[in-house]
Amino acid sequence: MAKKQTSKKKSASRRVTAGGAVKDTVGLITAEARDIETKILKRGKPALHLPLRALANVKYSVKKGHFEMKGKSKERTLTVNTVKTFAQTLRMMSLSKELVEEDDIASKREAYYVSKNWGDARFVEQPESDTVMDDLEALFAVNREQLGFIPEEKGGDVAGQLVVVDRDRDTGATLKIDCTKFGSGAYSIPISVEHLGFETKASFILVIETSAMFQRLVKHNYWKTANCILVSMGGVPTRACRRFIRRLADEKKIPVYVFVDGDPYGFMNIYRTLKVGSGNAAHLNEYFCVPQARFLGVTPRDITDYELPTHPLTEIDVKRARDAIKNDPFVQHHRDWQRALEKLISMGVRAEQQALAKHGLNYVIETYLPEKLAHPERFLP
């Protein structure tokens, strides 16, 4: 059913998939709707086959570097009991088709409010409409953004050796956004990034946890010295931020180095989410993980090597680290991460990116980053 093309051409109804191929969202929706129509005209019971979104239907693909779905699916047949959900699913498909055709977007919240005009098919609470949206993602094996739906939250700033290619909605003209020309400011990643193109000769992408560290590197034009692209996550990366890095790294074949605080939260909640995605949205990890990401620092070893000021690990830190060693398939696969977490627990301390300021505000630029970047083979996986 998935009509794949290798062309890079983009139009309102053609979206680039994780691997760079193009899926025709409108075509997918129309085909599904036509199947249902045919069934009804033949006096049959129409049905939707939805992949089962549950941990039981998930496996860890070492090769692809993320969780992925096994083949189990559930069937939603039109019956007296399912009529409302069935109608809602079709309505949501129709809304999606409209969005893609008109090159418009709707947030999850807006989609919920739109349903208030669907008469009896309206959603009472937003979790209901979110579930139907998740079903459609799984049904068409696309991500929500490809269906025209956007998350509520925005996040992710970019500066450095990158030209983002977008287009003016009214004139259709190509817009080239040069991320070296923002001064102390930055390019703010839009909520949906599927339509963007990239031009770059950067050697790598440096992904940074804190806004303050990002601002320091921007202030000092570090991207010029290191010939790189700087991306600020501002904490746990949003979907758009992860997807942006993924598409950029895939398309331009450049390495991704990650620079976060040296604590279990930085390792697991930030880095691991960026790299392999999250466990409870396995059907999306194909799009929202960055398998090429490597961990530059702050490592437990950096804390000793650079004599960083530290804070004691909290109980929650220790619990998070122990849980990861015990239960996280990603950590279980990488002996290096088990060692790193064990070392941190035994040291009993954590250190922040900004702790490098002990040696002078620009030590990070003049010493730490150059020393680390001289040996990417030492980065944690």
Q: Which of residues 201-230 bind a second copy (CB under 8 A)?
A: 210-212, 214-216, 218-221, 224
To the nearest whole angstrom, how small is the minimum distance from the Cβ of residue 325 to a second copy? 29
Q: Which of residues 72-111 bind a second copy (CB under 8 A)?
A: 104-107, 109-111
The amino acid that residue 357 corresponds to is A
- Applying CB under 8 A, which of residues 70, 169, 201, 378 lies at the interface with a second copy? 169
Q: Cα dist. 275→50, 134, 232, 245, 291 in Å?
A: 27, 22, 15, 10, 5
Q: Which element (helix H / strand E) includes 158?
A: strand 157-160
Is residue 348 part of the contact set for a second copy (CB under 8 A)?
Answer: no
Q: Which of 5, 35, 8, 1 is nearest to 23 (CA)?
A: 5
Q: Which element (helix H / strand E) includes 149?
A: strand 149-150
To the nearest whole angstrom, how small is the minimum distance from the Cβ of residue 107 to a second copy? 4
- Applying CB under 8 A, which of residues 20, 360, 370, 376 lies at the interface with a second copy? 360
Burial 266-302 (b: 16+ CB within 10 A, else e): bbbbbbbbbbbbbbebbbbbbbbbbbbbbbbbbbbbb
Q: Cα separation of 269 and 278, whole Å?
A: 9
Is residue 362 part of the contact set for a second copy (CB under 8 A)?
Answer: yes
Is residue 236 part of the contact set for a second copy (CB under 8 A)?
Answer: no
| 271 a catalytic residue | no
Is residue 298 part of the contact set for a second copy (CB under 8 A)?
Answer: no
Q: Which of residues 238-297 bind a second copy (CB under 8 A)?
A: none
Is residue 200 part of the contact set for a second copy (CB under 8 A)?
Answer: no
Residue 8: partners with Cβ closer than 8 Å, 6 or more residues away:
16, 20, 22
Given 60, 112, 113, 306, which residue is catalytic? Answer: 113
Q: Cα separation of 13 and 155, whole Å?
A: 25
To the nearest whole angstrom, how small is the minimum distance from the Cβ of residue 164 to a second copy? 7
Say if CB 43 and CB 174 are below 8 A apart: no
Is residue 10 part of the contact set for a second copy (CB under 8 A)?
Answer: no
To the nearest whole angstrom, how small is the minimum distance from the Cβ of residue 202 to a second copy? 18
Active site residues: 113
Note the residues at the interface with a second copy (CB under 8 A). 104-107, 109-111, 113-114, 116-117, 150-154, 157, 164, 166-170, 175, 177, 181-192, 195-196, 210-212, 214-216, 218-221, 224, 232, 234, 309, 352, 354-362
